Amino acid sequence: MHKATFEQRPKRVALFVTCMVDMLYPGVGIAACELLEKNDIEVIFPEEQTCCGQPAFNAGYRDEARKLARRFLSIFGPLVESGEVDAIVSPSGSCVTMTSHFFEAIFEESQETELSHQAERLASVTFELTEFLVDVLGLVSTGAQLQGKATYHPCCHLYRELGVDEQPRKLLDGVEGLEVVDLPHGDDCCGFGGLFAIKNSGISAAMGRAKARYAEQSGADAIALCDVSCMTHINGILSREGVSCRAHHIAEILNNHLGSTLRPPSQPAPAQADHPRRWGE
């Protein structure tokens, strides 16, 4: 994908916060917003935004996905085209993949050429948060401080579709006091996969448990990552399996949201970790 190069340092960006961050993890959105503002970027939050439609696309419902994609383009398109913002930034590799890879494809499929071109233009100025901070703003550190041991899990869409990997690792390395350790089999998928986690929950959980085992092996207290969907899955598994380490969105680490020292979660592990309860069974 072609990415825009900026002749002047961007001044203003639109935050695409994603529905999950908005409703479940506002702290991640706040961190993203503050990280940008600290670096003299004015943030605009278009309040009309909801969801990019990825769940529908992922499940194979292209018409529904196009409905939400059109909506997204109608909100963010004019902001970019009028020059009101220089870029769109989002704290999610997965949602950026949806808007900047798959939008174009689904409108090509429906032969809505105008929209697919618009999606392509928008894609060139859409950035995942760490990608923006490092590639566009040239940051090497956000000035964060945190005592403890952390590891990094590259979420699949970010790593393989967007090819963003060094950027978050670089910023993590720049956190003062943080020891970053290797995650064995780090680039193996955590098993989330959207609808997959429900439809094939047995396989998904088995993959998640493998990730949990490796996280435990790494000795880290925290797993940093760039997607709250994978974070939800990994934390759900870690909590159920009684593993004390937790996944955190990188923005919260980079913006000092976790206090001064990484601590195991306050909530004790459940007693019967290996006897999951089931509904109606």
Partner 1 sequence: MQVDIHAPYKDRVQQALGDPNLRVAVSKATDRMSNARRASMDAIEGQQLRSQVRKMKEHVLSNWPDYLEQLESNLTRNGCTVHWAEGVEDAQAIVKDVALQNSANLVVKSKSMATEEIHLNHALEEAGLRVVETDLGEYIIQLADEPPSHIVAPVIHKRLEEIAEVFQDKLDMPPTREPTKMTSLARAKLRQEFFAAGMGVSGCNFAIAETGTICIVTNEGNGRMVSSMPRVYVVVMGIEKLVPTVEDAYLQLQALCRSATGQQLTVYCSMTSGPRQEGDVDGPEQVHVVLLDNGRSRMLARGYGEALLCIRCGACLNACPVYQEIGGHAYGGTYNGPIGAVTSPALAPEIAQFKELPHATSLCGACREACPVKIDLPRLLLDLRSDLVQQGASPKPEAWGIKSYASLMSSRRMYENLGKMASIGSNLYAGMSGGNIKLLPPPLNGWTAYRDFAPFAPKSFRDWWRDRKKLRRQA
Residues 46-85 close enough to bind partner 1 by CB under 8 A: 47-48, 50-51, 53, 55-62, 64-65, 67-68, 71
From the CB of 130, what's the least distance to partner 1, in Å? 19
Q: Where are the beta strands (DSSP E) in the chain?
A: 12-15, 42-44, 87-90, 126-128, 145-152, 176-181, 222-225, 246-249
Structure tokens at 90: 């989002």
From the CB of 118, what's the least distance to partner 1, in Å? 18
Nearest C-alpha neighbor of 190 from the set 230, 150, 242, 142: 230
Site string for partner 1, 206-245 (x = CB under 8 A): xxx-x---------------------xx-xxx-xx-----
- The residues with which 247 forms a beta bridge, in sequence order, are 223
Site string for partner 1, 111-140 (x = CB under 8 A): ------------------------------
Which one among 9, 81, 187, 219 touches partner 1, defined by CB under 8 A? 187
Q: Which stretch binds partner 1 (CB under 8 A): 16-24, 132-140, 142-150, 168-176?
A: 16-24
Sites for partner 1 among residues 243-272 (CB under 8 A): 267, 270
Nearest C-alpha neighbor of 121 from the set 105, 109, 104, 96: 104
What is the residue whose two structure tokens read 């503050």? 34
**Residue 273 is a binding residue for partner 1 (CB under 8 A):** no
The Cα 2–Cα 7 span in angstroms is: 16
